[in-house]
Copies of this chain bind each other. A is one copy, B any other.
């Protein structure tokens, strides 16, 4: 098992990464002073429930916990206020009180949704992240929780840090292949932010990672969580630095919104977005090789690097204007200056963005 810490003063918390950690879930809750008197609320989705719900519930009950469960439909559509309200019904009926904790067992959807339940139920109860996707190395660390609005993703939410993150990589074995690739997209993104060394390590270990080799995964997720943890420690509320984690997300979020949640996975959308950011980098005077290298690495992970033809450029540009990263009209982009080095550019011309979006259309 590997362990790291998100440093946030008195709200600091550990991330545990390793194989088989779920077996110790009850003891780990106890270690974090989450007692057995008040009921727990375990939130998960239908897919994850199939594989792990009975087992996790059993482990918790064996540890003396009363457990209420809320199982939501799998997929982004569950990140809504109406699903949140349904979960709160379960919480109230189960008698959750201020000493209770909400446990998120699942990927980023479950983490974001259950996290906002924990943030808003009785104005905030404790929260535990049990990520079960690769992508969730990102979403489970940092305390950003939210649901979507039909006009924009993640626009209703809070900052609510978990008590701890328990990352059992054994749960990743049941992940569908497409989800594995999408998750590795975000992991490679951490490399683009961190340094060339980790990008090259990912490049060299792509096959092992795609095959879910335990040692490779544990190393990669430890590094990935570490990047996230470090940035969050330095800038919890996204005053500035934390924005670098949004590499690829400006275009990526717009693609997800325009395609309708579901057609493109988050990791797929940001893979395309990272290529877009790299092409913008060239327009800003950096070497064009950054874009071609970004593209080559992402292709190796079987990720899309082009915008589906039927997505309308005007609609994509429009979705970007709704994105919360645009402050007072100016366009903010995270730009890779080189592989492993990003900068925040607050004055990217929307004309260039449109050119890049057009250049990324499939078949062009």
A98-B324, A120-B120, A324-B97 are contacts. A92–B146 as well, Cβ < 8 Å? no
Q: How far is the CA of A39 from the CA of B325 in the complex (A)?
A: 16
The reply to whether A151 and B93 form a contact with Cβ atoms under 8 Å apart is yes
Distance in angstroms between the alpha carbons of A126 and B321 in the assembled complex: 21
Interface residues of A in 87-102 (CB under 8 A from B): 88-89, 92-93, 95, 97-99
CB-CB under 8 A from A15, the residues of chain B are: none
Task: Identify A85's interface contact among B120, B146, B149, B321, CB under 8 A.
Answer: B149
Q: CB < 8 Å: which of B144, B146, B151, B328 contacts A89?
A: B151
Instruction: Report whether A120 and B158 are in contact in the complex, using a CB–CB cutoff of 8 Å.
Output: yes
A121 at interface by CB-CB < 8 Å: yes
Tell me which residues across on chain B come within 8 A of A95, comparing CB atoms.
Answer: 321
**Alpha-carbon separation in the docked complex, A234 to B10 (Å):** 19
- Residue on B with the closest CB to A324? B122
Known A-B contacts A85-B149, A328-B38, A328-B99; A123 and B92 likewise in contact (beta carbons under 8 Å):
no
B328 touches A88 (CB 8 A): no
Q: B156 near A144 (CB under 8 angstroms)?
A: no
Q: Which residues of B contact A299 (CB under 8 A)?
A: none
A11 in the interface, Cβ–Cβ < 8 Å? no
Closest B-chain residue to A143, C-beta based?
Answer: B123
Residue contact A149 to B88, C-beta cutoff 8 Å: yes
A298-326 interface with B by 8 A CB criterion: 321-322, 324, 326
Residues of B within 8 A of A123 (CB): 144, 146, 157-159
Contact status B92-A327, CB under 8 Å = no
A124 touches B326 (CB 8 A): no
For A88, give its contact among B89, B120, B155, B326 (CB under 8 Å): B155
| A92/B155 contact (C-beta < 8 A), A98-B324, A149-B85, A328-B99 known | yes
Which residues on the B side are within 8 Å of A326 (C-beta)?
97
In whole angstroms, how far apart are the Cα atoms of A159 and B98 in the complex?
Answer: 14
Contact check, B327 vs A149: say whether CB atoms are below 8 A apart. no
Q: Mark A147-167, 1 if CB is under 8 A from B, else 0.
A: 001011001111100000000
A245 within 8 A of B: no
Most buried by B among A38, A144, A146, A155: A155
Which residue of B124, B146, B237 is within 8 Å of A159 (Cβ)? B124
Given contacts A99-B328, A149-B92, A328-B99, contact A158 B155 (CB under 8 A): no
For residue A356, CB closer than 8 A to chain B, the reply is no
B327 touches A89 (CB 8 A): no
A210 within 8 A of B: no
Does A37 sit within 8 A of B, measured CB to CB? yes
Apart from A81-B84, A88-B149, A124-B237, 7 more pairs, CB < 8 Å: A38-B328, A81-B85, A92-B151, A99-B328, A120-B156, A121-B155, A158-B158
